[in-house]
Structure 1
């Protein structure tokens, strides 16, 4: 009887399914519009101007989510006109590079779905696609992060047009440094020399691409960095460093990874040892092995065991006594 009642109910509802689906779709669309309007009103969004020109000009752009999670969010400008479509951004870890390029993509996306955007003003050229190689790891994908990056970059190289937006975050970091530098340099060269250069944002720590003519001298390439305040350039105190989260023209050659380690709560002993190794390798000096009583004692024990092994005569010696001598019972 329950099945009969349920079947009758379904048959009755199906008679009005067309009208019900239209009502549901209308309510869903209305909910989206109201949500976008509410967020735009609460967070002082502005109406973007869409244009058919391949330009992108944003005044004091912000990240839609990041600004809600911090006490103070530092906005940044974006200006891509006829030239300088490739922006290579360097700077320390934790300085806001990834947040910046993501906020640009989100502003472009919101503009195309009819939403107001988090900025003081925005002129957005019509964009056909947004390509991303952000180093994301899909748990369901049986591939390495680097392989996923390669596939994503391959897609944007084949399909990007002058109206596309391409984001590359730390592309080339998932393999041998030399290979990564070559792949990143080759990718930037391809975009710079292509007839229809898309808008490209590259975040990287591979500052080697600035040297030895790895990049072409092209007006399409502009260099930016996230500014850092450090009172004394010679100071080794990591606490002296202050991230300003402001995008400025230029190049950065330091990543301040040790400072980020302190911010992440890494042990002071680890950071101190890392600073010693960094200083030695930077000067081309030999890295001295850490020495304490336990390590010295172990080294002495291993050396004595090796000397006894070399002096042992397998023809006349007693193996049981030999091993008892090397590894005495505790």
Structure 2
């Protein structure tokens, strides 16, 4: 799922971050007579920003123009009205106008008219809103129908927007990049689910995992800052800490349900990818000369899978557990004793 901006909004596009919240705004349209001005839902920005050079939206196909090349990924969309099953309709195009009008009517079934939102900006497709306006929409009592999709846009993608490693002073700052709203009780309570029992159980597991993840990151932040390290994070990297000569790339994994090998497999791929792309770019931009670089996987529970720990160590991946403000190695010591 994606949204696009015109080239004239490039500076604004570059300021958008993963975790930003967008209000999905419908407008009057001469092509679809049943379109109305109002808020139809909420979108949460993901992390894979890109630039396209093809035609994606109906207007672009009609006018043979790449009008909105700057793509903003949406990890989740919460609509106020439920869409028909996606297998029953095709993406809107020039040849299926009647179907598109039916979808528009469905999207507007439970929308918020702009006249009901005091202070909503009236101009432009890309405008900031005040806290008062945001609260009117976010804390409305309408049900929310969640749609999520991590697939990328097909077609010609010109470039991906790089992410920066930002300085972290408190771990809550890194959670500002979370590309979901399900961690907020006021949102969770309004989400309509076809399987409420399973959804409730999944939410409990998610909350437990998020809490463990956050607690570990906060402890790691304090450990490194006490040692004088510069600590960084971004929507991809959990933690990167360096003191000018030594650096640690940290990936934290919740293993609350004892799924160490599954989580470690994901963490391995992430550490290798983030080191190659994110860290190498940062080191080059900052002109750092690091003598030692360590890639560390930090599970929330002490793992017992010695064979897999040995496998990770063989790939120069350290495993450590945070315990009382220290990082204790599990397997080989990858720089822990030097902290």
Q: Normalising by the residue count of structure 1, what TM-score does the alignment of the two structures yield? A: 0.24
Q: Which structure dedicates a bigger proportion of its chain to strand? A: 2
Greater gyration radius = 1
Q: Which structure dedicates a bigger proportion of its chain to helix? A: 1
